[in-house]
A = this chain, B = another copy of it.
Amino acid sequence: MGVTIGDVARRAGVGRGTVSRVLNDRANVDPATRERVLAAIRELDFVPSKTARRLSLRRTQTIAVIIPFLSRPSAFERFRGIEQALASVGYDPIVFNVEDAARREAVFRELPRPERVDGLIIVSLSPHQSELERIERSGLPTVLVDAHHRSLPRVVGNDVLGGQLACQHVIGLGHRRIAFLGDYSRTALAFTSSRLRLAGVRGAAKRAGIRLAPGMVGAGEHSRRAAADVATRLLTSPNPPTAILCASDTQAAGVLEAVGKLGLSVPRDLSVTGYDDLELADHLGLTTIHQPLFESGFRAVERLLALMDGGPAKPLREVQDIRLVVRRSTAAPERSMVTG
């Protein structure tokens, strides 16, 4: 067990160097001998040792992925993109799933050493100043996904626009009392995206001459359950919204749940929008903002590889397209509620 490059070389009657050249298909090798080598490889069922390759290249062929709440569908989907892109070039991911502040701190403190990984992808966590310093000190090529820092290459969705689109959509339907339901913005794991989406919502509302009352901006943990609670509070307030725009599909699902429990119905009594366009959104008939989650991860890897190749961090900020997907959870408000 364990056929080596030497075995192949002997079989093909060439030197090990030649086999190596064939493997990494470098130009300067005679077509005939290349064919011989390839035949030998097939016959022996040879697979090059990744380990030996790593050692020789002085590269780990491994990249670190820091990603919060990997078990959430949206995070998982982003990771799938990362994984697939890495696999296609023979790289391995090593994932740091962070689920609380302490872990975030720990992960950045013992930041993956260059001798352990060749690069770094950070998903949905916008680095603090101190974290940035650690990253720079590590010297690791780094790409952000769904996170922001003005000095780091990043692949992001247009969250502000997303908020706008959702808001314009319900305004166009005739809504005026609009609420936003997003994440806590002050916790250690706060998602920047929620804040940006809110900004977009505010902007669109303002342009339409609408002001989001302070009570119309709800925040909670990023869970269906918490969202349901917040929604219940919003809907039982004196002057409830006719539309709730959510920072995620998961939270929108919570809103739908709350609406059902209150004996109300969507979209008759309330319009709801989500964000992400998860499978869930389709199931629930949720109007939402579609963003390319898988592709964001995939793209981040492409950019990281280019970076590691010495390429430029050229467009520091790469923005991915999003689009509004209209389903059954939004409609014109009941006339009585508009005037009431």
A residues near B (Cβ < 8 Å) are 1-2, 47, 49-52, 54-55, 58, 60, 70-71, 73, 76, 92, 94, 113-116, 139, 225, 260-261, 283
Contact = CB atoms under 8 A, between A and B. Distances in A.
Cβ-closest 7 pairs across A and B: A51-B54, A71-B76, A51-B55, A55-B55, A2-B115, A225-B283, A52-B55
Please state the number of chain copies in the assembly.
2
Nearest to A261: B260
B283 A50 contact: no
Contacts of A139: 1
A258 B76 CA distance: 27
A2 B113 CA distance: 10
A2 B116 CA distance: 10
Given A55-B55, A94-B92, A260-B261, A115 B49 contact: yes
Contacts of A261: 260
Interface centre among A55, A94, A139 (most CB of B within 10 A): A55
A111 to B, nearest CB: 13
A47 B114 CA distance: 11
Nearest to A53: B51
Given A73-B71, A260-B261, A283-B225, A115 B47 contact: yes
Contact of A51 (B51, B94, B114): B51
A177 B94 CA distance: 50
A65 to B, nearest CB: 13
A141 to B, nearest CB: 14
Nearest to A61: B51
16 contacts: A1-B115, A1-B139, A2-B58, A2-B114, A47-B116, A49-B55, A49-B115, A50-B116, A51-B51, A51-B60, A55-B55, A71-B73, A71-B76, A92-B92, A92-B94, A225-B283
A209 to B, nearest CB: 39
A287 B195 CA distance: 38
A159 B181 CA distance: 41
A71 B77 CA distance: 9
Contact of A260 (B70, B73, B116, B260): B260
A51 B50 CA distance: 9
A328 to B, nearest CB: 15
Interface centre among A2, A73, A139 (most CB of B within 10 A): A2
Contacts of A92: 92, 94
